[in-house]
Amino acid sequence: MITLYGKAASRTSRNLWALEELGIAYKHVPADYLKGETKTPEFLSINPAGKVPALVDDDVIMTESLGMNLYIAHNYGEGTLWPAGKAARAKCIQWTLWAATELEPPSVGRLIEFVFKKEHERDLKNVAALVERTKAPLNTLNAALSRSAYLAGPTFTIADLNVAAVCEYLTRTNFDFTPWPAVQNWVTLCLGRPANQKVNAMKVAT
Ligand SMILES: N[C@@H](CCC(=O)N[C@@H](CS)C(=O)NCC(=O)O)C(=O)O
Nearest C-alpha to atom 18 of ligand 1 is from which residue?
A: 64
Whether 114 and 129 map to the same domain: the answer is yes
Identify the burial level of 13 via C-beta atoms within 10 angstroms of its C-beta, where 0-12 means exposed, 13-18 middle and 19 or more buried.
Answer: buried
Q: Quick check: is 60 in a domain?
A: yes
Could you read off the pLDDT tens digit of each residue along the chain, which spans 206 residues?
A: 999 999 999 999 999 999 999 999 999 999 999 999 999 999 999 999 999 999 999 999 999 999 999 999 999 999 999 999 999 999 999 999 999 999 999 999 999 999 999 999 999 999 999 999 999 999 999 999 999 999 999 999 999 999 999 999 999 999 999 999 999 999 999 999 999 999 999 998 76
State residue 169's pLDDT score.
97
Q: Where are the alpha helices (DSSP H) in 45-85?
A: 65-76
Q: Quick check: is 59 in a domain?
A: yes
Whether 67 and 99 map to the same domain: the answer is no
Question: Could you tell me the distance, in angstroms and rounded to a whole number, from the CA of residue 63 to the centre of ligand 1?
Answer: 9
d(CA 19, CA 24): 6
- For residue 64, the ligand 1 atom closest to its alpha carbon is 20
The number of folded domains in the chain is 2
State residue 176's pLDDT score.
96
For ligand 1, say whether the CB of 52 is within 6 Å of any of its atoms: yes
Out of 46, 80, 114, a domain closes at: 80
Out of 80, 103, 127, a domain closes at: 80
Q: 43 near 35, Cβ under 8 Å?
A: no
Residue 80 CB partners (closer than 8 Å, separation 6+): 21, 22, 157
Q: Give 78's strand partners.
A: 82
Whether 176 and 105 map to the same domain: the answer is yes
Secondary structure (3-state) at 69? helix
State residue 206's pLDDT score.
65
For ligand 1, say whether the CB of 12 is within 6 Å of any of its atoms: no
Question: Could you tell me the distance, in angstroms and rounded to a whole number, from the CA of residue 166 to the centre of ligand 1?
Answer: 14
Out of 51, 80, 109, a domain closes at: 80
For ligand 1, say whether the CB of 50 is within 6 Å of any of its atoms: yes
State residue 204's pLDDT score.
86
List the CATH number of the domain containing 139.
1.20.1050.10
For ligand 1, say whether the CB of 64 is within 6 Å of any of its atoms: yes
For ligand 1, say whether the CB of 65 is within 6 Å of any of its atoms: yes
State residue 205's pLDDT score.
78
